[in-house]
Amino acid sequence: MSLSLRQITGSNFAYQHLPFDRFLDDAAALGREHLELWGVAPQLHVPWLSDAGARAIRRRAAGLGLTVRCLTPEQVAYPVNLASPDSRLRAASVAMFRRAAELAAELGAELLLLTPGRGFEDEPVAAAWRRSADAIGEICAYAGTLGVSCVLEALQRVESNLVNDAPTLARMIDEVGAPNLGAVLDTVAMAAAGEGVDDYFDALGDRVRHVHLIDGSPTGHLAWGDGELPLAEYLAALDRRGYRGAMTFELFGAGDYAFDPRPVVERCLASVQAALPGAS
């Protein structure tokens, strides 16, 4: 068994300004089997989405031959911060993720994606690290009671001052110590840290359970061909390291991508198909 185009999810990251059903129809038409859902307004706003609403999404997807693999709540662009020094914000952030875990279970998603948050720039990192680890541990414990696993993603330094590379991501996962906590490999965050796929697998091994496969210069959330990252090299390394989990094009719904996302996704799929190991 080798790396395959079937591992690419359908994702609504570029569909924020279009109806959610349009995204589902496009994902099915493009041959996707699994979905990563971005929990963002107006499509899947976590604080407002009901259990019944989540089940309706699951049924609609299933009718198109699609299953939800991962739920990724919006958690960087508005005040959700698991390491916040403000106790009310931190508690509200944990509550949001607990609710997201409930919705993941209703959607049939096996994974809930988390990020570490950030502390104040002028406080000791250890204090914010402790807050983040405690919050992640609480969320993982609750998600586990629902049959949901969590995956933690390293962020660029402009997004977090806690977890920015593979060794630090491994240290956080080790410290949390939750059996249902794995790692996300995000190619842009990886490139921003000066790392490669092998660095992630050397640090994390089979705890790499989800991949955001996106181009950048080296940063940005770009379609393949719009940046400078080595797609074929990444795919060859993922194949060599035996990765068989899902891979998602995290194309944020801004600029030209959001006006007509389907051709952009088609272009990404074609790029991956041409770059897969063994492709002629």
Q: What is the pLDDT of residues 25-35, one digit of tens each?
A: 999 999 999 99
Does the residue 280 lie in any domain?
Answer: no
How confident is the prediction for the chain on average, in pLDDT?
A: 96
CATH number of the domain that residue 47 is part of: 3.20.20.150
pLDDT range class, residue 256, cuts 50, 70, 90: confident
- φ/ψ of residue 145, rounded to 5: -70, -20
Does the residue 12 lie in any domain?
Answer: yes
Predicted local distance difference test score (pLDDT) of residue 165: 98
Q: Please state the rounded mean pLDDT for residues 266-279.
A: 94
b/e per residue 217-236 (b: at least 16 CB within 10 A): ebebbbbbebbebebeebbb
Express each pLDDT in 124-162 by its tens digit: 999 999 999 999 999 999 999 999 999 999 999 999 999
Does the residue 55 lie in any domain?
Answer: yes
- The residue range of the domain holding 196 is 8-275
Q: Which of 186, 197, 188, 109 is nearest to 150 (CA)?
A: 109
Does the residue 226 lie in any domain?
Answer: yes
Q: Residue 39 is inside which H or E element, if any? A: strand 34-39
Does the pLDDT at position 16 exceed 60? yes
Predicted local distance difference test score (pLDDT) of residue 252: 81
C-alpha 236/C-alpha 96 separation (Å) is 37
Spell out the residues 6+ positions from residue 28 whose beta carbon is closer than 8 angstroms to its own: 10, 64, 65, 66
Does the residue 97 lie in any domain?
Answer: yes
pLDDT range class, residue 123, cuts 50, 70, 90: very high
Express each pLDDT in 204-255 by its tens digit: 999 999 999 999 999 989 999 999 999 999 999 999 999 999 999 999 855 6
Q: How many domains does the chain have?
A: 1
Does the residue 1 lie in any domain?
Answer: no
Crossing angle of the two packed helices 231-240 and 197-204, in degrees rounded to 10: 30
CB 28 within 8 Å of CB 64: yes
Express each pLDDT in 50-83 by its tens digit: 999 999 999 999 999 999 999 999 998 678 999 9
C-alpha 250/C-alpha 216 separation (Å) is 11
Look at the block and give the residue holding tokens 């406080």.
Answer: 123
Does the residue 93 lie in any domain?
Answer: yes
Q: Which of 38, 37, 27, 33 is nearest to 4 (CA)?
A: 33
C-alpha 127/C-alpha 235 separation (Å) is 37
Does the residue 193 lie in any domain?
Answer: yes
